[in-house]
Amino acid sequence: MTTICIVHQIPAAFTNGGATMDIFLIVIMVASSSVFFFFLRKHAFSAKIHSKSKRVPGAGGAWPIIGHLHLLSGSETEQLPHKIMGRMADKYGPIFGMKLGVHQVVVVSDPKLAKECFTTNDLALAGRPKSMASEIVGYKHAMFALSAYGPYWRETRKIATIELFSARRIEMLKHIREFEVKSGIKEIYSDWGKNNLNGVVKMEMKEWIGDLVMNTMGKILFGKGRRSNEDEGINKAHKAIRRFFELLGAFVVADFLPYLRWLDIGGHEKAMKEVSKEMDSVVEEWLTEHKTKRGIIKSGEEEDFMDVMLSICEDRDLPGFDADTAIKANCMGLLSAGTDTTIVTLTWALCLLLNNYEALKKAQDELDAHVGNNRWVQESDIKNLVYLQAIVKEVLRLYPAGPLSVPHESMEDCVIGGYDIPKGTRLLVNLWKIQHDPNIWPNPHEFKPERFLSTHKDVDVKGNHFELMPFGSGRRMCPGISLALQVVPFVIAVLLQGFDMKRPSDEAIDMSESFGLTVLKASPLQVLLAPRLASKQFYSVKKQSSSRKVPGAGGAWPIIGHLHLLAGSESDHLPHKTLSRMADKYGPIFGMKLGVHQVVVVSDPKLVKECFTTNDLALANRPKSMVSEIIGYKDAMFGLCSYGPYWRETRKIATIELFSARRIEMLKHIREFEVKSSVKEIYNNWGKNNLNGFVKMEMKEWIGDLVMNTMGKILFGKGRRSNEDEGINKAHKAIRRFFELLGAFVVADFLPYLRWLDIGGHEKAMKEVSKELDSVVAEWLTEHKTKRGIIKSGEEEDFMDVMLSICEDRDLLGFDADTAIKATCMALLSAGTDTTIVTLTWTLSLLLNNYQSLQKAQDELDAHVGKNRWVQESDIKSLVYLQAIVKEALRLYPAAPLSVPHESMEDCTISGYDIPKGTRLLVNLWKIQHDPNIWPNPLEFKPERFLSTHKDVDVKGNHFELMPFGSGRRMCPGISLALQVLPFVIAKLLQGFNMKRPSDEPIDMSESFGLTVLKASPLEVLLAPRLAPDLYE
């Protein structure tokens, strides 16, 4: 009972600043149950203390066991640790000792003593105490800012200093900083253009600053940005980093009373594990992506910091840590430190200026005088803006991002101010107290940038003046000071030059501080802004580009460009084969003109890797097309829609509710039932119609029925079997036509001004298909709405039911709920059926043309499964030759031999060639998967290659020589489902039936035209059962 009381009282006691009596009661209870252990620890600690005569003066008010911990539990602004310690310094002097649990801590609040710490005793005090945050979130103390002093710390700090913070590197990365700052400014201007009221727009600037800084550091470190939600990981990282800094600054009970760690007082350990998991999931994904793209970066091409770390750590670990841990820890350490401190400083700078209009106006006048209004301020201008520099210094003085230094720990006995500091003592320097000392800074709480132009004009923030050291001092000072002193004044300068700004009311900006290692403004920062430059200045932000253009293909005609080359429909003149021959002539990357559009065609795995890793976001868009407009519900089908919030939302729904491992497992019974039923149909047909022991069947139709049944049941609860729903039959025919139209080179898409002519009759055909599909899906939607409320708890819902639940009483980002449901469901039915039908048909055709492989697969089934039961999905993992057959079929006949077109959303570079915004990209998967330099005898069907030379190659988008499902963020989300269905259907057919061609002639392998390329002619097969009759019942 006592233990239960303790556990329930502890979190409140240690997290609520005023609950001191609760703390005392807890301590007494804990002490009564562990008094012997306590005295042992006390004796051991006392034996370590040197017996010299001059000890640091101790602060009063310590409690048994916990010492002074109870004094540091406040979270209100005036009760934050740096302010409490400031008042304690007033009482006990500029150096005093505290007992925080089992640890002796010395607090220094005087510049002369701080100088002694970071000069005379710099090495002795270079240690970092171990903490739970550093252990759990910091990869077991691998973040160099938190790691122990030694070879690992020296090596990682050296890498960071040279590769990120050197003058050369800072200059090299200037274009990223300038582009991101000016893009952020443009966002404000665009918001003002849409939402201004009385000439000003209200914005929450804390969030704007956060986005800007995360974009900039994300691009520098990982090549990732947060702008326009271009990478969800950077958003997750930003939130986790803020929480990390709060936890770093927390006085965690387990750090000071380690024997109470099991209680997790305050829930810190649980919170740290959550933050650690969040941060690691993001950085692990980025590291995998960077490893994947290695080898693409050309000489002279820009690398981010993670690329550099990978190069340095190639084939070697760093002292005490494996390479991956060191890379992740230090990249995230730099992202954390580089973002949070900068966000804090910029936020306080803006607050102080808004509370001091005179200083704000003076800074704008300086900008007007030195830069003017006809161009944007640049980083090179900052050295001439002396008042702006004074503002930054004054902000850093009043609100140092970390008001208490990151704790140091003495690695050996030393002396500070004549006082003995035993080895193992922890040191805190109260930077806030020093920087508010009225003996050094007259009127210390007032914002007076002018002091840095007069009395303190020679004082800088670089760690040499101990009365002002917001970045620390000594060997453990912040290595990013040079970068910070570029970013902070530049951002403020661009804001002040670009906008007039004021508070939303006459009330002063609230300056309350939040709790953490860094102290951020507690409340939002609402600001009224109005442009003060000509509008043309806000639209002058462009990325630098080089003059290297993609090699162009010859043979273009006036107006139509190369369209005439892609008009063939015969098997050898299908677009992917025409483009393949062009690649042989013009190279692995070449440009084409298709009407009014520039198109780049890529036919090389290394270049494709660059497209879908380095440039994955830039190329994540889809071009608008007539088929997407007419059949795709005005671009609402997520496979064809523009990249943005709607696409992310619908893809997320599909991924979780249809393609997640959990959902695929849940729906296994549907797949197994439909396959079993279809096999039974073959057997029944054989029983009625066999001739000489075999029955002839048209298997293309059988495969179509099976796949439409399966996907129809999963998506709509509808099947095609026995004509149980005519709609599914209509949908099947319309979908095949849809994919033909998707693959067609529609004249109106490339010469839009000729749309009214409807050349080729495509628009008319699309409207007919659209009407056909919509009539079916609208009927199903009405039926699903009608039955809502009937479904009992635990009863299975199909995907349309799930979509109705999700979209209940709300629209989906730009589309009404009904449109989004119909479009998403039909997109999944279309993509999920047609591609599967195509692949199964080609696989069966290939096996029938290669009896040896067919027999080998049947032998494998007999050996691993036998003939006394049916093969199950769980058996597939053991059928390695069968898996090789599926891979080889996907290699030879990718369902879509050309990727669905991509469109660049911004300027980018592929293999050193400039790809302007708006360029369309086609990846010739067929060409890559038939490259003889990668695939010896590429036109031959050889599953064995996936058991030997290519055994490690998979089809999941990570091996760019084989990616039938695509790669990157726009790859097919249904790959997991496809890789369950394809081998299972083939396995069931091969186990259940002997099969052969109707004649000695090989199966005709002619291809039809379309986005997916189906076998052009029927697939007639002779089948005979090979299992006992009772297994087919």
What is the mean pLDDT of each successive set of 10 residues along the chain, which is 1033 residues long?
Answer: 29 36 39 39 41 80 91 77 95 96 96 96 94 88 89 87 78 84 91 89 93 89 65 68 69 86 88 87 86 60 77 72 88 84 95 97 96 91 95 97 94 96 96 97 97 95 94 92 92 96 95 85 94 81 56 92 82 88 95 95 94 89 91 89 87 83 87 94 94 94 92 83 62 75 78 89 90 88 83 71 79 82 88 92 98 98 97 95 98 95 92 92 97 96 96 92 93 91 97 96 91 91 96 91
Please identify, among 497, 514, 538, the residue that sits at the C-terminal boundary of a domain: 538
Q: Which of 490, 523, 538 is the last residue of a domain?
A: 538
Residue that is last in its domain, among 538, 565, 588: 538
Distance CA 710, CA 717 (A): 9
Three-state DSSP string of 215-260? HHHHHHHHCCCCHHHCCHHHHHHHHHHHHHHHHHHCCCHHHHCHHH
Distance of CA 871 to the CA centre of its chain: 39
Domain match, 890 and 1015 both: yes
Examine residue 78 and state whether it is found in any structural domain, yes or no: no
Same domain, yes or no: 617 and 522 = no
Distance CA 444, CA 1011 (A): 71
β-pairing, 426-429 with 103-108?
parallel
Sequence-distant (≥ 6) Cβ neighbours of residue 972 within 8 angstroms = 831, 835, 965, 966, 978
φ, ψ of residue 95 in degrees (nearest 5):
-140, 125
CATH code, 517: 1.10.630.10
Give pLDDT, residue 242: 67
Same domain, 513 and 642: no
Residues present in the chain in total: 1033
Q: Is 825 annotated as a binding residue?
A: no
Whether residue 934 is contained in a domain is answered as yes
Co-location of 777 and 892 in the same domain: yes
401/503 same-domain check: yes
Q: Is 377 contained in some domain?
A: yes
Full domain range(s) for residue 508? 134-538
Whether 511 and 626 share a structural domain: no
State CA 189 to chain mean position distance.
27
Question: pLDDT value at position 32?
Answer: 35
Per-residue pLDDT, 312: 78
| 31 is a domain residue | no
Q: Are residues 740 and 854 in the same domain?
A: yes
Examine residue 827 and state whether it is found in any structural domain, yes or no: yes
pLDDT (0 to 100) of residue 160: 83
> Structure pTM?
0.54
* Distance between CA atoms of residues 614 and 611, nearest Å: 6
**How open is the CA angle 112-116-121, to the nearest 5 degrees?**
165
Q: Give yes or no: residues 488 and 618 share one domain.
A: no
- The domain total for the chain is 2
Do 221 and 369 sit in the same domain of this protein? yes
Cα 484 to Cα 170, 171, 392, 581, distances in angstroms: 10, 13, 11, 53
Task: Report the half-sphere exposure of 252 (CA within 13 A, side-chain side).
Answer: 29
What's the number of CA atoms in the CB half-sphere (13 Å) around residue 361? 5
Q: Are residues 508 and 617 in the same domain?
A: no
In a domain, residue 855? The reply is: yes
- Asked whether residue 118 is assigned to any structural domain, the reply reads no
pLDDT value of residue 74: 67
Reduce the secondary structure of 68-90 to three states and give it as a string. Answer: CHHHHCCCCHHHCHHHHHHHHHH
790 part of a folded domain: yes
Q: How many CA atoms lie within 13 A of 293 on its CB side?
A: 26
124, 411 Cβ separation under 8 angstroms: yes
- Residues 489, 630 within the same domain: no
Q: What is the pLDDT of residue 376?
A: 92
| 507 and 383 inside one domain | yes
User: Which structure tokens are listed for 334?
Assistant: 């730099």
